[in-house]
Structure 1
C-alpha cells in the first residue's frame, strides 16, 4: 500500500488536475507532498516504532493512512488533496519501518527470514509497477478518486489480521527520543528533496535551488555532528557506518534514482509518443511486476546458499544492460522487440537486488536499532527516487531544449508539420539521454556492490537479534 501510493496517482494526475482545477505549476505537489513527508519523517517513524511498540505503531499507521486516503478521495480543492497526500506520507513514515522491523524481529531463523524478505522484496519491488497498472485501470473504468480510496479496504483487512496475529515488540533500555536530531534530519531531507525538485523547474543555478541545496548540506552536516555527540542518537552512526549496511543504503539510493527514470519517462513515451491509453500503458508494465516477483522468489531461495554479493552483482548487471537497451528507442519502437525484453531483464535484475539488499541492510542490527535500520532502507529509496525525479527531469529538459535549438533551422522549412516532427524527435532524444543517465546510476550501484559488499553466507540471513523473543508482548 505504501509503495503503491508513490506511483498510483501518476497516471491519474491529469484527471485530478482537471477535476480540481490545479495549475500546471502546482500539480507536482500531488506527488511531492507525499514523498517529502514520507522521506523526511521515516527516521523518526523508525524510532517511534522501536520505542512506542512496533505493533502499536503499525496499527496506528494503518488507520491514519486509511483516514488520509479517505480525505484525499473526497477532496474538493487542491489544498485538501495536497494536505491528504502529506498526511499519507506522515502515516506511511510510521507504517513502513514498523512493518519491516516486525519482520526483522519475528523471523529469526535463517530460511524463514529469507522467505519473509523474499515476499517483502517482491511486494516492494513490484509495488511501483502495480501502482501504474492500478492507476490506469481505476482512472479509466472508475474515477481518479479511487486511486486513493482503494487504500481503505486494504488497510481495514490488514488491521483486522494484524490485531490477532502480530505480536508486540519494542526496544528495551534507552528509549528517549532525540528531538534535535529528528528536527535536523527531517528538515535536511525535506530541503534536499525540495531543492532537487526546484532544480527540475527553475534550473540548477537558480538562487532558490542553490539556497535549498546549501541549506540541506548545512542541516544534514549538523545532524551528523549532533549524532556523534548526543548520548541518545536518532540514528546511531554504528548503524550507518557498518560496511555492508552502508553499501546497501548507497545502492538503495542509486537504484531508486535510476529505476524511477524508467518508470517516469517510459510512461511519457507510451502515452505521448506511442499514443497509448492509461489502461494500455498500465498493462504494459505487467511483465515487469511478474518478473520482480519471480526474481524475488528465486533470490530468497538462493540467498542462504550464495550470500548477497553474487545475487546483487548479477542483478545490477542485468538492470544496467536493460536500461542501456532502452536508450535505442525511436518514434515507433516495437513493444515486443524493444520494450518488453528491457522490462523482463530490468525486473529480474531488480528482484535479485531488492531481496538481499533489504536483508543486508538489517544484518547484525541489535533489537534496539531494528526500527531505525528499517527506516533507513525506506528513507534511502524515497530520497533516491525524489532526487532521481529532479535530476533526470532536468537532464531530459536540457537535452530536449538543446535538440530543438540545434535542429530548428532544418525544421523551419517544413512548416507546422516540421515543427511537430521536431518536437517528437526532440522528446525521443531527451528520453534516450535520460535513460543513459539512469544506466550510469545503475552501473555505479553495481560497482558499489562489487567493491564494498562482503559476502559471508551467514551475513545475509542471520542477525544478532537473539534477544528479540524476550520483548514480544
Structure 2
C-alpha cells in the first residue's frame, strides 16, 4: 500500500510547477490551433465543414480515452502515465508538423488527444493527492488553473506570431519542445509512485468503455456534418448506446471495475462532471467563433487575431488565480454560481454589442466580464468535481470529470457550428451572413451558460448543522459538502504519496 511521508516544501513547490507546466501545455495546444485554422485549411485543402476536425479529432480521442487514462493512472502509477502522456504529445506533434495531407494532420491530432487522455488525469490527480482538501488544495488548483489560463494567453499569441512568421507547422513544433522539456524534467523530479490501486485491470470494461465513449463523441461531432438522419449517425449512435449498456453491466459485476459506479453516488462527482461538460460546450467552444469573427468578418491577420485574444485570455488567467481565494471565502458552489452569473452577463452583453462594424474597444468590456467568469469557473469546477473522492480513485475521478470536459468541447463546437451555419444560410465567406450566424451562436452560448447555472444548484450544500447536532450518519456527507460549499478550515501538513 502507498505510504505518506513529509514532503520537502522546495521539492513540492517544484513538482507543482511541473504539473502546472503540463497543464499549460494542454491549454496551449488547444488555443494555439484556433488562430492557425484558416492557414491550415488553405494549405491542406480542408473544406469549411471538415476544418473543425483539426479541433474535433483531438477532442474525440481525448474525451473517448479519458476514462482509460484515468484508470491507468490509478493502476500503473501517476508518474508513469504523466510521462507516457508527454511522450505521446511530443511524438504526435512531430508527425503533425511534418503533415502534408489533411488526413495526416487529423491522425496526428488523434494521437495528441490520446496523450492528453493520459496526461490530464495524471496531472490533476497528482495535484489533488499531494495537497490536502481545503485551502491547501484550493491554492494548488489556483496555480494549476492559472497555468492553464496563462497557456491560453500564450497559445493565442504564439498561434498568431508563429503562423505569420513560420507557417502553421510551427504551432505543432512548439509542442515538441515543451513536452520534451517536461518529460526530461519529470523523470528526475517526480517521485516513483506506487500503484494507487492493486485490484487488477478490468480489460473488458476498458475496451468496451473506451470504444463506447469514442463512438458517442464521434456521433455527436459528425452528426451535424453528415446529417442526424444519416445511416452513419444512426448506426454509430445505436452502437454507442449498446456498448454503454454492456459497459455498465460489466462494471456492476466485476470485482475491479475500470469505472466504479459507486463514484456516482457522490453528487458532487455527478453534478461536477455535468458542469465540466456544459462549461466546455459553451465557454470552451466559443473561441472558434471569435476567431471567425476577427479573421473572416473583420479581416484580421493571424498575428492580429493572436493579440486580439490577449485581453480575454489574460482575464481568464486572472480569474483562475482569483478562484482559489474565492473558494476559500465562499466555497466552490457559491463561487461557481457567482462566476456563472458574471459569465452570463458578459455573454449577453457581447451578443448585444457585436456587429459587423464593431470595433475591438466596443466588445472589449463584454469580453473582459465573460472571460473573468470563465477563469474562475475553470478552477472551481474541478475542485467541486473531485471533492470526496478517495485518493486511490482520484485518477478515475479526475478522468470522469475531464471526460465531461472534453466531450462537452466536441459536442458544443459541433452543435454551435450547426446553429451558426443554419442562421448564416450555409454561407461561410460573406461577412454579413457570417456575423448573423456568430450572433445566434453567441445567444445559444448564453442559453447554455444559464443551463450550467441551474445544474450547479445541484452541488451539495454544507451539512455542518447536522454534524454539530450529533448526527453521526450525516458526518461523511457533511465533510464532503463542507469542502464544496463552506470556507475550508486550515489544512493539515502536506504529504507526498510515494
Relative to the length of structure 1, the TM-score reads: 0.88
Cα distance between partner residues in 1 of 2:160 and 2:332: 35
1:83/1:427 CA distance change after superposition, 3 Å? closer
User: Is the Cα contact below 8 Å between 1:121 and 1:358 reproduced in 2?
Assistant: no
Question: Which residue, out of 138, 160, 165, partners 1:136?
Answer: 160
Q: Distance in 1 between matches of 2:251 and 2:140?
A: 32
Taking the aligned partners of 1:109 and 1:22, their CA distance within structure 2 comes to 47
Residue pairs, 1:234-245, within 5 angstroms: 234-245=258-269
3-state SS of paired residue (2:424)? helix
Confirm whether residue 437 of structure 1 aligns to residue 438 of structure 2: no
Structure 2 CA distance for partners of 1:224 and 1:128, relative to 1, 3 Å: farther
Determine the structure 2 residue equivalent to 1:333.
358
**Of residues 355, 358, 369 in structure 2, which corresponds to 1:345?**
369
- Compute the displacement of 1:199 (Å): 2.1
Alignment-derived partner of residue 176 in structure 1? 200
The equivalences for 1:279-290 within 5 A come to 279-290=303-314
| Residue 9 (structure 2) aligns with | none
Does residue 396 (structure 1) correspond to residue 403 (structure 2)? The answer is no
CA distance 1:288–1:26, shift in 2 (3 Å):
closer
Matched, 1:262 2:269: no
* Structure-2 separation of matches of 1:31 and 1:16: 12
How many residue pairs get aligned? The number is 452
Please give the per-residue CA displacement for 1:364-397, whole angstroms capped at 9, x wherever unaligned. Answer: 2112211111112221111000000111111111
Aligned to 2:184: 160
What SS class does the counterpart of residue 115 from structure 1 fall into? helix
**What is the CA distance between 1:471 and its match in structure 2?**
4.6
Change (3 A) 1:138 1:453: farther
Residue among 47, 54, 58 paired with 1:34: 58
Q: 1:116 to 1:468 in 2, by over 3 A?
A: closer
The answer for the alignment partner of 1:375 in structure 2 is: 399
Q: Does 1:5 align with 2:5?
A: no
CA drift of 1:154 comes to 1.2
**What stretches of structure 1 of length at least 5 have no aligned partner?**
405-419
Give the equivalent residue in structure 2 for 1:97: 121
1:317-328 to 2 correspondences below 5 Å: 317-328=341-352
* RMSD (Å), alpha carbons: 2.6
Classify the secondary structure of the residue corresponding to 2:252. Answer: helix
Alpha-carbon separation, structure 2, partners of 1:109 and 1:395: 41
1:64 counterpart = 2:88: yes
Structure 2, unpaired ranges of 5+ = 1-24, 463-480
Per-residue deviation, 1:279 = 1.3
Cα distance change on mapping 1:306 and 1:138 into 2, 3 Å: same
Quickly say closer, same or farther: Cα 1:470–1:16, change in 2 above 3 A: closer
**Aligned counterpart in structure 1 of residue 98 of structure 2, from 58, 61, 74:** 74
In the TM superposition, what is the alpha-carbon distance from 1:295 to its structure 2 partner?
1.7
The answer to whether the 8 Å contact 2:131/2:494 transfers is no
**Residue 36 of structure 1: CA displacement?**
1.7
Is the 1:305–1:457 contact (alpha carbons within 8 Å) kept by the matching residues of 2? no
Change in Cα spacing, 1:39 to 1:109, as seen in structure 2 (3 Å) is closer
2:439 pairs with 1:428:
no
TM-score (norm 2): 0.84
User: Residue 57 of structure 1 aligns to a residue in which SS?
Assistant: helix
